[in-house]
Structure 1
Amino acid sequence: MDSASAASWTLPLSRRAMTALVTMLAALGALSTSIYVPSLPDLELALATDAAMVQVTMTAFLIGFAFMQLVYGPLSDVKGRRIALLLGLIVFIVGNILCTTATSIEQLIVGRVVQALGACVGPVVSRAVVRDAFGVAGAATVMASVAAGISLAPAIGPTLGGLLHTAFGWQANFALLTVLGTGLLFIIWRWLPETNPHKGVHVFNFGVMRRSYHELIRNRTFMTYNIAIALGFSAMFAYITGSPFLFIRNFHLSPAEFGLLTMFNALGFMSGSLIARKKAATWSNPRLANLGTLISTLGGGWLLAQAVGDILTVPGVISGVFTFLLGLGILIPAAFAGSIAAAPHLAGAGSGLVGFTQMAMSAVLSYLVAHINRADQVPLMAIIAVAALGSLFATLRLSRATERPLASES
């Protein structure tokens, strides 16, 4: 479905309303991850546990988020985007209720896994909906707009989460997500039509899934974009996992103060997304991806230099992370658009595989951060810097790979 065939979704949803809806869906994972981050240090006392177990709630979420994306992508290709979204949002609501009522760290971990199994439907299926509704030509521009909106989640999430935590306790964060999930479920049930023009062409089974993913893995262009996204995204999650302990324990900030500081992170990502949106019409996806990973690498290098020199300060960390996220904001929309365009007939599966890879790698780095020595910030900053550098190498390889199309990509 290209932009010319948008009539199927402009009634009752307008083009602007569709963009707003897919933005909210795409931000579901980021908001679910970030809103409770200011509460992490206090959860040790509230649930009678330690810092490592508290951070496992992040790792468990990322693992569940990663694997379920492999299901939602093909499911949306075969059964339709609408049914996948409705199913996922119901699971998301149940998970948030479990988190809200948790009285032990084990119960919270279970709730976070269920929450993740539902939350991942938003990012996976929203990207496929963008491809359905706006076509290959319009996907990069729309994804840049969506990315700019998503960039608000890392700011609104911790800021709102810190305020809710201070006023009502950590449970209020998950109660709010329950309300949000219920609202999205109603909007989709009432107003979102099916956008998948290929719905029902194949039977949904593991054989189809295996063949789809095998084709995608053999597609050099798709996988290079995929690796670049995963490395950059996982570096961001390494920072998200370690930052509350860095700012609240080491720099002695309150949860509310820490939440307010995350607005600078969002400003960096949003600025990058706006640059990508402006340049999408005239710059190729590989060129934008190269620019983004170069800037991210500079930010990661500055963070590592501060840690090695033992000169970490709040302004220094914020400036380094701002630069890193500025580059990531440029990379993400270009790389997402390029990866889906590499195999448009597998838009759902492709979106799912991209999401799985980035979240699986994020889970690994999150686990590493949870078990590093908190008195030494060099490992955390080294993880961010090395991942950013790896993303740069991937996009440089991408430029060469796209000059020689493979038979599997034609």
Structure 2
Amino acid sequence: MTFPWVANTVLTRSIRLAPIIAMAALLASCASPPMPPSSSMPSVPVAAPVTAGSRPGDSGPLPAPLVQGKSRWVPVRWAELPGFEEDQLFEAWNAWLKSCERPGPIFAPLCGEVRRLSIASAEEQRVWMVARLQPYRVETLQGGSEGLLTSYYEPVLKASRMTGGAYEVPLYRAPSTLGSRKPWFSRQEIDTLPEARAALKGREIAWVADPIDALMLQIQGSGRLDISEPDGSQHVVRVAFAGSNDQPYRSVNQWLLAQGVTKINPWPDATKAWALQNPQRVQQLLWSNPRFIFFREEALSNFDAAFGPKGAQGVALTPGRSIAVDRDSIPYGTPVWLASRGNAANLQKLVVAQDTGSAIVGAVRADYFAGTGPQAGEMAARVNQPLRLWVLWPR
């Protein structure tokens, strides 16, 4: 596709994000076969900005509905996508470039064009999307189009390589015996059974100070540790999901509600406040969730720090532009239009399906990656609101 790009296009971008986009595009192109010459790409005229409902190219007969696992996809016009004309699409291109590092067979043929468009204007990106993609409204097999949006993030915790003092709660690598029994020991058994404790001896990555923080890290599935080394140095590493004990997940908040606790949000602050008032019951609270997560340590470069951990697709998550989905409803690497309004956030934007989670089940269901650190955590704790989704599928 030939676009009349102008030299100052990049200057319209955020100064902070432009190096990330350029570097991501460079790295992605280095790992891929040479792109075809632009003459091999279909030419699409670039029109002046238009209002929703009059988008050029959005005409002609619609294709038939599709069934994708647990979901039904209903073809629609681009005008149905709320906020399509206003979204800062270049932000989403970071996530799309990441997906092109490990694309599936459906989207791999588009990755050359996606890379070219990383420095295009938002209008050029919109024109290309209309020409190359068909939006489908995601519904349940029964026809429901409204679902649930939640959010997750990457916590940052203070930690130490050595136990003692304030740091007494261990974070573990996966034990060598993890596959020897399914499910593996529960959280309570890990704390109490000599056999389980022996299997984890020497598997400690680091220690943190608060058991609620350790539980939160396990619920999120990954995080960063601001870690103190024995020599007195301090640096930040990432701990990524490396496996679980295959025990069922149980909500600590639901357990608290069953105990008659009325203030359970914001998480985890309300839980920590309850724990301070009920120190003799903290272990009981922790054991209410038998699921236990093991981690692996990863180095964190300055470039990596701009992105989140790797999701289930195997690519790094992009804050505000990556979602976790039910892979039986939406394949990994699929660009998705997301619309959700609630007290926590009003979102109308392009995102990419790059992760999943044990609680993310159903056709119209997504978990929104809010980013890293306390501010992202505050947002993630509040998001629990209605959701609509449209997959953008190659024509």
Larger Rg: 2
Considering fraction of residues, name the structure with more helix: 1
Which has the larger strand fraction? 2
Shared fold per TM-score greater than 0.5: no
TM-score (norm 2): 0.26
